[in-house]
Amino acid sequence: AQKITQTQPGMFVQEKEAVTLDCTYDTSDPSYGLFWYKQPSSGEMIFLIYQGSYDQQNATEGRYSLNFQKARKSANLVISASQLGDSAMYFCAMRAGYSSASKIIFGSGTRLSIRP
Amino acid sequence: GAVVSQHPSWVICKSGTSVKIECRSLDFQATTMFWYRQFPKQSLMLMATSNEGSKATYEQGVEKDKFLINHASLTLSTLTVTSAHPEDSSFYICSARNWQGLANEKLFFGSGTQLSVL
């Protein structure tokens, strides 16, 4: 069975500081992918970053980076120089298996609030 | 970037009626689409995986006769909530996979549908 866990229900961070959102996962499949999404109050799901299980390097997308520690089964999201607009729910997600039909499940989410 | 269109954005219906929600991938072919349900301040719960030209795969606990999914083409999947009841009120969101292999997967979401059953 596959499982994804986010242990931080909420976080408060001062503007311009870096923030790390935790995510751990569990799967027996050697081929998997990990995602991070942002969901503002409008409800839309905004793709942030993706990491494949065979990627040698940590994924980066602008201010977002994914700290992929395979042995620990963790995929933490790092946001550098946080901005007020970063306040939102953040979800970690995983696809287990190497197939276009493999399902994608989500963690419980972390609500990030940026203080001015 | 790729766009997924979901309609309607919100719907209010009477108990016992059926509601159809459409999900379209506008600029790519999506062999797989996913339907999720989200309660307020909670995570996305996967309801079913929809594959073009075949029957949907439902998650445990999701009634396939109540939540009918049709994926008739590579760009369109529909979710029909049959005989809706107040407990079906929720935010439903679809996503479409732009499969580019393990190294570069993209999953795009529709804007969601807020269903309220009176």
pLDDT digits (tens, 9 = 90+) for A2-58: 899 999 999 999 999 999 999 999 999 998 999 999 999 988 899 999 999 998 899
Check pLDDT > 70 for residue A99.
Answer: yes
- pLDDT tens figures, B94-108: 999 877 665 567 788
The predicted model gives A80-93 an average pLDDT of: 96
pLDDT at res. B64: 92
**Measured between CB atoms, which of A31, A55, A103 is closest to B46?**
A103
- pLDDT tens figures, B47-72: 999 888 788 999 999 999 999 998 88
pLDDT at res. B104: 62
Cα–Cα distance for residue pair A103/A29, rounded to 1 Å: 13
Select from B25, B102, B104 the residue whose CB has the most chain A CBs within 10 Å, as the one to mutate to test that interface.
Answer: B102
A113 lies within 8 A of chain B by CB: no
Residues 26-55 of B with CB under 8 A from A: 31-32, 34, 36, 42-46, 49, 51
pLDDT at res. B106: 75
Cα–Cα distance for residue pair A93/A89, rounded to 1 Å: 13
A45 lies within 8 A of chain B by CB: yes
Contact A101 B107 (CB under 8 A): no
* Mean per-residue pLDDT over chain B, rounded: 90
